[in-house]
Amino acid sequence: MKYIIKVGGSLYYRPELKRVLAHAAGLMKAPHSAVIVPGGGPFADQVRRAQQRWPIADGTAHDMALLAMRQYGLMLAALSDLPAAEQVQMGVAGEDGEAAVALTGLPAAERARDMPAAKQVQNIPAGGCGIWLPSEDTAVWLPQNRPAPAFDWRLTSDSIAACLADRLGADWLVLIKPVPVAKVDAFSDLVDERFCELAAAGNLRVASVSVPEWLDLLYITDVEGKIVTYQSNTTACNTQI
C-alpha cells in the first residue's frame, strides 16, 4: 500500500519530532511504502511575517512558502537520515515485486521536459520511506484535468499533500497533527481552507493522527477502510473524507 504522510510544520516545536520520523520509517514494511510531505513550520511563518510587512502578492508568497516546505523537508531529512529528493519513485510490491510509480505523476517525456535531467531520482522501494522536497515545479502536482486553484494562503501544505496523494493514487493520506480530532470543533479546523474540497474531489481516504496516536502504532495496515493499531486492536485513525 502507498501512504502519503504529512508531517505538520507545528511538529517543529514538539520534542517527539525525531521519534515521529523514525516511527514512520519503522512502520513501513513491504508491501507498504511511504513518502513524507513536509509542512512549512517556522519557515512559512517567516513568509507570513514578510507579507505583513511588505506588499508581497499572494502568488509570490505561495512560491516563497513552497521554499519554506523545502527547508523543513531538508531539516527532516537531516534529523532522520531518510532519503529526500524532488523526484521520488514509490515501490509497489506486486507479483514481480518490481513495480513502481513515479511520484511526479507525469509521463516520462513530460518529466524529461519539465524536470532537468541533473536532478536526482530517489527510489523508495516497497518497505521504504522517503521525503519529498517541493520545488518551483510543484504546480505539476495539482490534480490532472482540473482547474488550477488560486495560489494563496487558502492552499497550503495540507492541500499540496492531498493533490500529491490524488495524482499518485495513494491508498491513504495520513496527517500527523499536534492534537487529535476530538480536541477541535471540526476536522476542518485542523487543515487549510481548500483541503476538504481537494480531498473529496480526489476521493481520498484521509486519517488525522495526533503525535501520541502515531507513536502508539505498532503496525500500519488497512482493515475495513480504517488504519488500526495492533497494540490495543482499536482504531487509531478514523477520520475519513
Residues 6+ apart with CB under 8 A from 160: 37, 69, 134, 138, 141
Give the pLDDT of residue 198: 83
Mean pLDDT, all residues of the chain: 74
Which residue type, as a one-letter code, is found at position 190? L
Domains detected in the chain? 2-237 (3.40.1160.10)
Measuring CA to CA, how many Å separate 158 from each of 4, 52, 122, 208?
Answer: 11, 22, 23, 11
Give the pLDDT of residue 79: 94
pLDDT tens digits along 60-75: 898 899 999 999 999 9
Residues 6+ apart with CB under 8 A from 165: 4, 173, 202, 204
What is the SS3 assignment for 97?
Answer: coil
pTM above 0.85, yes or no: no
Residue whose C-alpha cell is 511520484? 103
Give every residue of the chain whose pLDDT is below 50, as ranges.
92-119, 140, 223-224, 227-241
Give the pLDDT of residue 45: 95
